[in-house]
Amino acid sequence: MTLSIRPMRPDEAGEVADLWRKCNLTVSYNDPEADIARARACPGSDILVGETEDGRIAATVMVGSEGHRGWMYYVAVDPDIQGGGHGRTMVKAAEDWLERHGICKVMLLVRPTNTKVKVFYERLGYAEEDRSLLTRWLRGGPATDTDPAELWTIETTVTYLEMSRQPTRPTVPAPSGLRLGLQRAENPTVSFYRYLYNSIGAPWAWVNQRLKTDEEIAATIQDAKVELYVLTVGGVPAGMVQLDRREADVVDLAYFGLMPEFIGSGLGGYLLNWGIDQAWSSSPGKVTVNTCDLDHPRALPLYQKMGFQPVRREVCRLPHPHLFGLEVPAHRR
């Protein structure tokens, strides 16, 4: 049997975690789905899978580097096909990945009792070195009763707001002294959208779009009824407004925000006012928006100042910002 080696796709996290469990690579105090999310979010790591001809994931390896050395984890081969050289294939794929990224040495951890696996790596040229491994649990671990899944999610209160009639307030003028531009991004690329979303949302733990595949994002932002507007200052991207008109008689202000460097420059009220007016340009029955307590502390008051009214609140759990290399916003720590 020949396996096709490729990077894991986001929608395969469950299948990969199931294979790890089948191979007895997981422990009760460690959440494999969280490991997958962190590996995918980190630019210095990846998860490679071995796919059978019928499309089944039968082998994996997690590979990455912190910038100094390369590491391998979760080298797994479905027990049903073990003994066919697939483990060797996955290790070689990980080594090739590291070489392409300029890493000259790879390391891995093997428990002393796992003699079978130790022999496997020794046959591939790996050698034990005289080093002391020092560890310390910062969160969770075998000595805690905390559900590991709770360590990788964060609770937040989401407020849903609506505006049922077009505001008659005076328009908010643009700040003076800035060379502003504001235009729609026609058929935006996924990479450009991720740049805007990730840069604007990083301080406020925006994670929902980070969970989506390129195909899922493209299907949304390239829909004719979804509009992405980009604010620039001197030609430099400074903010974004995303309007979603796909629901009949409703326009959702899906995303609004400024690049961190432009917060406090007076652009927030101007851009939000403009976005609201643009939303009403198609004469919908209402305009909606939502925010959560991870967002900028002034976001909710600003929405209400502009005429939005809260209609409901709910408490939910989101993937923890740490899974994407992000910090929890300071006001929530």
pLDDT (tens digit, 9 = 90+) per residue, 10-61?
Answer: 889 999 999 999 999 988 888 898 899 888 888 899 999 999 999 999 999 9
Give SS3 for 305: helix
Of the listed ranges 170-179, 240-249, 250-259, 302-311, the least confidently predicted one is 170-179
Q: Are 191 and 322 part of one and the same domain?
A: yes
The enclosing domain of 240 has a CATH number of 3.40.630.30
User: Are 205 and 321 part of one and the same domain?
Assistant: yes
Residue of 326, 118, 72 lying closest to 208 (CA atoms) = 326
Residue 34, φ and ψ in degrees, nearest 5 = -70, -40
311 and 194 in one domain? yes
Q: What are phi and psi of 76, to 5 degrees?
A: -130, 140
CA 205, CA 296: separation in Å to the nearest integer?
Answer: 10
Domain of 300, in residue numbers: 152-332
Same domain, 204 and 97: no
pLDDT band at 149 (very low <50, low <70, confident <90, very high): low
- Return the pLDDT at 29: 81
**Boundary residue ending a domain (144, 178, 204):** 144
Where is the domain boundary, 144, 164, 196?
144
Looking at the fold, whether 289 and 182 belong to one and the same domain comes out as yes
Residues 68 and 175 grouped into a single domain: no
For 234, counting Cβ atoms within 10 Å of its Cβ (0-12 exposed, 13-18 middle, 19+ buried), the class is exposed
Could you report the per-residue pLDDT of 193-220, keeping only the tens digit for each?
Answer: 999 999 999 999 999 998 888 999 999 9
pLDDT of 142 > 80? The answer is no
- State what percent of residues in the chain have pLDDT above 90: 78
Do 140 and 156 fall within a single domain? no
**177 and 61 share a domain?**
no
Mean pLDDT of 94-110: 95
157 and 194 inside one domain: yes
* Same domain (yes/no): 139, 169: no
Q: Which residues contact 66 (CB under 8 A, 6 or more apart)?
A: 44
- Do residue 59 and residue 167 come from a single domain? no
As for how many domains the chain has, the answer is 2
**For residue 221, what are the contacts with CB-CB under 8 A and spacing of at least 6?**
188, 190, 193, 228, 242
Global pTM value: 0.75
128 and 175 in a common domain: no
Q: For residue 143, is pLDDT > 80?
A: no
C-alpha 92/C-alpha 9 separation (Å) is: 20
| Residue that terminates a domain, selected from 144, 164, 194 | 144
Contact (CB, 8 A) for 90 and 8: no
